[in-house]
Amino acid sequence: MPDVHSLVNEFILKLKKRKVEGSQATARLAAVLLRSVISQQRIGYTNQAGALIDAVKAVGEQLVAANPVEIAVGNIVRRVLHIIRDEDLSLTTAAMAGLNLSAVSDDDDDDTSPDDHPVLSAAAVAAAARSTLRPPSLQSLLEDMPDSAAVPHTSSSGGDSEGKSKSADKNSRSRKLKHDVIEAVNELIQDIDTCHEQIAEQAVEHIHHNEVILTLGSSRTVLQFLCAAREKKRSFRVFVAEGAPRYQGHLLAKELVARGLQTTLITDSAIFAMISRVNMVIVGAHAVMANGGVIAPVGLNMVALAAQRHAVPFVVLAGSHKLCPLYPHNPEVLLNELRSPSELLDFGEFSDCMDFGSGSGSPLLHVVNPAFDYVPPKLVSLFITDTGGHNPSYMYRLIADYYSADDLVLQRKAAPST
Amino acid sequence: MEPRRNLRTVIDPKVRKVGFFAPPDRSQSVLPDPISAAVSAVQVSSSSPSGNMLSPVMIPPPRHHSDTLIPSQPSTRPVLHPVVPSSYTAASEFSPTAASSYTNGSRFPVDVDDGSFSPGRLAKGNSVKVLASSVPTVSLVIKPSNMEAADIPGVELQNDQHGDANLPKEKLSKAERRVLQESQRAAKTAARVISAEASKGSAGTSGAAPAKASKSVSKRSDNVSVAASEKKSGDRPVEKERKKDIPQPRMQYDDTSRVEKAKRRAVVKQTEARNRVELFRHLPQYEHGSQLPDLEAKIFQLEPMHPAVYKVGLQYLSGDISGGNARCIAMLQAFQEIIKDYSTPPEKTLSRDLTAKISSYVSFFTECRPLSVSMGNAIRFLKNRIAKLPLTMPESEAKTTLQSDIDQFINEKIVVADKVIVSHSVTKIKDGDILLTYGTSSVVEMILQHAYELGKQYRVVVVDSRPKLEGQLLLRRLVAKGITCTYIHINAISYIMHEVTRVFLGASAVLSNGTVYSQVGTACVTMVAHAFQVPVLVCCEAYKFHERVHLDSICSNELGDPDAIANIPCGKELSFPDRGAKSENLQFLNLIYDVMPSDYISTIITDYGMVPPTSVPVIVREYRREHIWI
């Protein structure tokens, strides 16, 4: 346990200090951390899934609070929670296949309130999952209506009676659950690792000969996407906007040139001038919200507007770990982060002006250096994720596959308790 | 008006009877209504072929008798009085030949002339349809003898009713019109020839060209004056001149033969940048850094180059002087120096030799840095001035005239224009505003400072972009003044645009399709402002307007130093130290200008007022001549 604690604290510290860069790296680290949390979590005979969920949530809250803007962390926590629920559900259904369905009915219990961490019985999970995730069949619609309606009231631990009666079976099941969850989390980590390749595989479908592509800043996904097209013998030209305060575009340009792509580095201000000669804009994202809006590196809203003006397709590449189930509200401010002014002005340079107003109370000079931009869904032509290309309007449905509805409010619950 | 009409219908017969009494106030009564004069002229002309001595003055249009009774009449009279003498002379001189001598096109003689036509013509001219039947009777009555012109009053009365409406339609006689047109045409062609030739000269094709141009100007204008007197000179030359009016295509640098030619003449030996962007082959791009030491080494060898020109050219090259106004003023002041030190070589005329000299200096400037539109317009102005100098004018006088002309240009077109723009713009700033500006513009800076001096409470957002980071200079000056500022990079513009209430921008040029040619990045700023529905106000002096049109920023632009892109001030590991050795695949593009579409612009504030971008071609057209001639 102390081992996990120190690991968690270390990661939290990293997040707070913004030492982890890039949502993919963050997502991977978070998944690995949660895996170790799960593997170290001691679970009793009763309510194994609930215990796991509790543990993951407790850690997840801390992680999210450490850097609320790093949406990938919250996404991974939710995905892991979803995995636990899912595995538990499949185990339960497997178990229930042996039992008769009446077992569900003697699950009635009153030891938990729904406000507290809701400890879900297998049946409740099953019902909830059915209602939120599984496409409803006609049968389930007709038959299970009363059942699913009753679920919130009868949210129960469910283990008690079962545990007493079949402890031996339970024991093996609990071990099986943990094992399954860890397996699934491993799969998730692998998914995160390979999302670039999976996205890059689709490159040839989108890039043809003599294409002129514009991108801004640097993104591993974009780099691999372009390189994949290059490896398939497509010859095209890339304009890279440097992405001003951080100049990540220079990195991308170096990488592209190293792989033999025709690359032109431009300033961000020249985007509007150049976009009229561009066939496609391909960019990476920081996060994709449920409405299809994109939290992207700063400057991309400008690019998207220019692309719209000239009817240039604006394509966003995003691994599935970037898909966030939340709907944004005022994302330019609330999901943004202001970075150090020193990236724009040297500290020494304007120091005389900076403290000029200290006497009067408010300084005369403000330097604003936001990290992200919000690109509204109407400016996005296409999302390419590891599962294929999607319209912005479809993102909410895609996202629903990865998360369970109970976990969406993960963060808000944490707020009053901390 | 009512009583008048009634009166008329009632007294109609009476009026006929009093037809030929000469009222003592004839001179006053004729003029208020040119129609009456026209009609009286009908009588004159109908009688004049027979050498009639009866002057129109003596003809008493009886209507005026009645009209003088009407109280409204006297009020109109004094207004028209000044015309009286000319009308008299015109009328007294009246003869078939005299008709063609009218060139002033004043209304009165025109009317008189109109009268000389047949009644049918008269009816048409006056467009009196009601009276169509009565007109022939008039003519019939008139023709036999003027004593019997009993119907005239009726005509006159009807004319009077329609008179005011008909006035503009009272057209010139054919001969009249022709003469007038021809004189106008002559003036136009003369102007065109001069402007076209001058612009050709300013394109700086060769040293000999300007001299040729000025020669042809004088030749042409002679031709034109001759042509104007001829009737046949007609439309052809005009058409040609109109075609010449289109600005000449600029040098395309992917045209190798022309580039070679230009290189042979060039003072500054420039090496072409090696690794260039395919899309911009038509623009000159040179290795930066090589010219400056080269030029410095040449300082004593450049025999014909005036030191003032040399200095300014180097400043352009090194970027010490930038910005449309600053560059233009520097150039004009250098020209002043030249003119001060100028003396006409023997066997040459000042106007031709000086124009040639200036052209060679201009091509030197162009080699240092491509001319801005403001500079092009200023050069055009100066060349026109030189060409217009009379040949007889002594040299010293010509020199002082030119110097004062340049001073006047700087003062009127730049300094005063800026003041006017500032006074206009300040009215658009109110307390609590958050103004956004991009880069540095001298006018916008003046506006902000003036508004601050007026005590307006506002905040400024200074947007900046690589590689020049000019915004920092503006920021420093504004903060030093005490204005609250926010500083951002252009990428963060969507973040800040929520709170901005106005965008103030400067411009390098305003093109006649309403697009604004400005520092690269302004188009992005206006685009985002447009998306957030923030008004965009572009401040630009009218001398930067140009009749050229652009749709995108590719066709015409300027390429800056690519190394400026490659090197980042802060991150050493990101920049490319060995750019040249790197790779053929990597290029750096440093655009200087871009073109913002006119639909992003709310208004253009210029010295002629605040106009929508659609009015730019109107200003270019209407004020261009005044522009050139001041």
For B265-315, what is the HEC assignment? Answer: HCCCCCCECCCCCHHHCCCCCECCCCHHHHHHHCCCCCCCCCHHHHHHHHH
CB contact under 8 A, B590 and A267: yes
pLDDT at site A414: 43
Shortest distance, CA A69 to any CA of chain B (angstroms):
16
Q: What's this model's pTM, rounded to 2 decimal places?
A: 0.70
- Residue A291 burial (CB count, 10 A): 16
Rounded Cα–Cα distance for residues B154 and B143 (Å)? 16
- The residue out of A143, A167, A194 marking a domain boundary is A194
Element (H, E) at B538: strand B536-539
Distance from CA of B615 to the nearest CA of A (A): 24
Evaluate whether residue A364 is within a structural domain: no
**Are B528 and A368 in contact (CB < 8 Å)?**
no
Which amino acid does the sequence have at B387? Answer: A
Nearest to A207 by CA among A177, A166, A235, A182: A235
Instruction: Please report whether residue B228 resides in a domain.
Output: yes
pLDDT of residue B601: 94
Partners of A306 on chain B (C-beta within 8 Å) are 524, 527
Query: Which secondary structure element, helix H or strand E, spans residue B509, and what is its range?
Result: strand B509-511
Chain A nearest CA to B601, separation (Å): 15
pLDDT at A292: 92
On whether the CB atoms of residues B610 and B604 are closer than 8 A, the answer is yes
8 Å CB contact of A276 and B552: yes
A158 plus A223 within the same structural domain: no
Q: Which residues pair with A240 in a beta bridge?
A: A215, A265
Phi first, then psi, for residue B459 (nearest 5°) are: -125, 150
Domain that holds residue A28: 2-194
Phi, psi of B116 (to 5 degrees): -75, -5
Structure tokens at B263: 């290189």
Same domain, A124 and A257: no
* Smallest Cα distance from A304 to chain B, Å: 10
Task: State the nearest Cα–Cα gap between A372 and chain B, in angstroms.
Answer: 8
From the list B486, B490, B586, the residue facing A253 with the nearest CB is B586
Please tell me the distance from the alpha carbon of residue B250 to that of residue B195, in angstroms, as a whole number.
Answer: 17
Q: Which of B466, B438, B588, B590 is nearest to B524 (CA)?
A: B438
- Helix A167-200 to helix A23-40 angle (10° resolution) is 170
Q: Which of A173, A194, A215 is the last residue of a domain?
A: A194
Cβ separation of A368 and B566 shorter than 8 Å?
no
Q: CB-CB: which of B524, B583, B587 is closest to A264?
A: B587
Task: Number of A to B CB contacts under 8 A, please give it.
Answer: 179
What whole-number distance in Å separates Cα of residue B152 and Cα of residue B62? 9
Close Cβ partners of B585 (under 8 Å, ≥ 6 residues apart): A256, A257, A260, A261, A262, A263
Looking at B417, B447, B465, the residue that finishes a domain is B417
Q: Are the Cβ atoms of A250 and B576 closer than 8 angstroms? A: yes
> Which CATH number belongs to the domain containing residue B410 in this structure?
1.20.120.420
Take residue A358 and report the two structure tokens written for it.
């200290």
Three-class DSSP category at B430: coil
CB within 8 Å: B575 and A250:
yes
Cβ <8 Å between A272 and B465: no
Structural domains in chain A (count): 2
Q: A157: domain CATH number?
A: 1.20.120.420
* A174 and A242 co-located in one domain: no
At B133 the pLDDT is: 40
pLDDT of residue B598: 92
Last residue of one domain, picked from the residues A194, A222, A243: A194
Q: How far, in Å, CA of B581 to CA of B9, rounded?
A: 100
With CA atoms as reference, report the closest residue to A59 among A97, A11, A95, A104. Answer: A11
**A252 and A129 inside one domain:** no
Inspect the interface and report whether the beta carbons of A369 and B475 lie closer than 8 Å. Answer: no
Query: How far apart, in whole angstroms, are the C-alpha atoms of residue B142 and residue A367?
Result: 89
Domain of B199 in residue numbering reads as 2-155+195-272
Domains held by chain B: number: 3
- Cα–Cα dist A134/A81, whole Å: 17
Does residue B389 contact residue B401 with C-beta atoms inside 8 Å?
Answer: yes
**Does the residue B168 lie in any domain?**
no
Which of B279, B531, B574 comes nearest A305 by C-beta?
Answer: B531
Residue B209: which region, alpha, beta or left (left: phi > 0; alpha: psi -120 to 50)? alpha
How far apart CA A238 and CA A332 sit, in angstroms, is 28
Tokens representing B265? 């003449």
Are B383 and B517 part of one and the same domain?
no
pLDDT tens, per residue, chain A with 418 residues: 457 888 888 888 888 888 887 788 888 888 888 888 888 877 766 777 888 888 888 888 888 888 888 888 889 999 889 888 888 888 888 887 776 544 444 444 444 444 444 444 555 555 554 544 455 556 655 665 544 444 444 344 444 444 444 455 555 666 778 888 888 899 999 988 999 899 999 998 899 888 999 999 888 899 999 999 999 888 899 999 988 788 888 889 988 988 888 999 999 999 999 999 999 999 999 999 999 999 999 999 999 999 999 999 999 999 989 999 989 888 888 888 888 888 888 777 776 665 554 555 667 888 899 999 999 999 999 999 988 899 999 998 888 888 888 777 765 444 444 3
Is the backbone of residue A268 left (phi > 0), alpha (psi -120 to 50) or beta? alpha
Q: Classify B448 as helix, strand or coil.
A: helix
Are both B28 and B96 inside the same structural domain? yes
The CATH number of residue A305's host domain is 3.40.50.10470
Q: Given A260, A336, A345, which is nearest B487 (Cβ)?
A: A345
CATH no. for residue B608?
A: 3.40.50.10470
Q: Are A191 and A386 in contact (CB under 8 A)?
A: yes
Chain B residue numbers with beta carbons less than 8 Å from the beta carbon of A305 are 527-528, 531
**Angle at the Cα of A84 from the Cα atoms of A139 and A407, rounded to 5 degrees:** 80
Kind plus residue range of the DSSP H or E element containing A319: none
CA distances from B131 to A250, B30, B33, B92 (A): 85, 21, 18, 29
The residue type found at B532 is F
> B504 has which bridge partners?
B437, B537
Q: Domain ends where: B272, B287, B319?
A: B272
Host H or E run for residue B594? strand B593-596
Asked if residues B617 and B512 have their Cβ atoms less than 8 Å apart, the reply is yes
Do both B407 and B444 map to the same domain?
no
B208 lies in some domain: yes
**In terms of domains, do B392 and B528 share one?**
no
Q: Does the residue A303 lie in any domain?
A: yes
Give the torsion through C-alpha atoms of B345, B350, B354, B355, to 10 deg. Answer: -140
Report the SS3 class of residue B75. Answer: helix
In a domain, residue A353? The reply is no
Smallest CA-to-CA distance from B70 within B121, B6, B148 is with B6
Same domain, yes or no: A273 and A181: no
Widest distance between CA atoms in chain A = 79
- Give yes or no: residues A29 and A79 share one domain: yes
Nearest residue to B375 (alpha-carbon basis) of B544, B518, B210, B506: B544
Q: Are residues B447 and B506 in the same domain?
A: yes
- Counting every residue, how long is chain A? 418
User: Residues A227, A132: one domain?
Assistant: no
Ramachandran area for residue A292 (φ above 0: left; ψ -120 to 50: alpha; else beta)? left
d(CA A232, CA B556): 36
Q: How far apart are the first and last CA of chain B?
A: 47
Whether A253 and A276 share a structural domain = yes
Q: Do A368 and B492 touch (CB under 8 A)?
A: yes
Cα A17 to chain center, whole Å? 20
Residue at A356 is within a domain: no
CB contacts of A267 in chain B (<8 Å) are 465-467, 520-521, 565, 590-591
Q: Residue A39: its pLDDT value, please?
A: 84
Tell me which chain A residues have a C-beta less than 8 angstroms from the C-beta of B277: 264
B612 and B521 share one domain: yes
Q: In this complex, which of B465, B479, B582 lies closest to A267 when CB atoms are compared?
A: B465
For the beta sheet containing B516-519, the strands, ordered from the edge strand earlier in sequence to the opposite edge, are B545-546, B509-511, B516-519, B593-596
Query: Which amino acid is it at B211?
Result: A
B582 part of a folded domain: no
Return phi, psi of residue B286, to 5°.
Answer: -120, 160
Q: Does B603 fall in a domain?
A: yes
Closest chain A C-alpha to B565 CA, distance in angstroms: 7
CA distances from A204 to A200, A260, B519, B617 (A): 8, 17, 37, 47
Enumerate the β-bridge partners of residue B43: none
B354 and B348 in contact (C-beta within 8 Å)? no
Residue A137 half-sphere exposure toward CB, CA atoms < 13 A:
3
CB contact under 8 A, A305 and B583: no
Interface test with B, best of A267, A276, A337, A343 (most B CBs within 10 A): A267
Supply the pLDDT for residue B384. Answer: 87
**Per-residue confidence (pLDDT) for residue A118, from 0 to 100:** 44
Minimal Cα distance from B459: which residue of A? A364
- Asked if residue B345 and residue B478 are part of one domain, the reply reads no
Q: Is B43 found in the same domain as B9?
A: yes
**Does residue A345 belong to any structural domain of this protein?**
no
CA B457, distance to chain mean position in Å, is 37
Tell me, what's the pLDDT at A223? 93
Query: Do B608 and B498 reside in the same domain of the chain?
Result: yes
Task: Name the residue facing B588 among A265, A277, A336 (closest C-beta).
Answer: A265
Residue A184 shares a structural domain with residue A248: no
Tell me the average confidence (pLDDT) per consecutive run of 10 residues in chain B, 630 residues long: 45 46 45 45 43 44 44 41 40 41 41 41 41 39 41 43 44 60 64 52 41 42 42 47 58 72 64 69 69 64 74 85 89 90 84 87 86 89 87 87 91 92 93 92 93 93 89 89 91 92 94 92 94 94 89 87 78 57 77 92 92 90 64
- Residue B328 and residue B222 in one domain: no
Instruction: Kindly state whether residue B165 falls inside one of the protein's structural domains.
Output: no
Same domain, B401 and B450: no
Please tell me the distance from the alpha carbon of residue B87 to that of residue A8, in angstroms, as a whole number: 104
Distance of CA B500 to the CA centre of its chain: 34
Q: Is residue B570 part of a domain?
A: no
Q: Do A369 and B520 touch (CB under 8 A)?
A: no
Torsion of CA A156, A161, A164, A167, to 10 degrees: -60
Closest among B512, B589, B500 to B550, alpha carbons compared: B512
Contacts of B527 in chain A (CB under 8 A): 272, 302, 305-306, 309
Same domain, A223 and A111: no
**Would you state the pLDDT for residue B437?**
94
Are B255 and B312 part of one and the same domain?
no
Cα distances (angstroms) measured from residue B258 to each of B250, B262, B263, B265, B361: 11, 6, 8, 11, 20
0.95 surpassed by complex ipTM: no
Q: Which residues of A touch B576 (CB under 8 A)?
A: 250, 254
Residue A248 CA to residue A219 CA, distance in Å, equals: 8
The whole-angstrom distance between A239's CA and the closest CA on chain B is 9
Strand A294-297 with A372-375, pairing? antiparallel
Closest Cβ–Cβ partner in B490, B585, B596 for A244: B490
Q: Contact at 8 Å (CB) between A281 and A248?
A: no
For residues B263 and B254, what is the distance between their CA atoms, to the nearest angstrom?
13
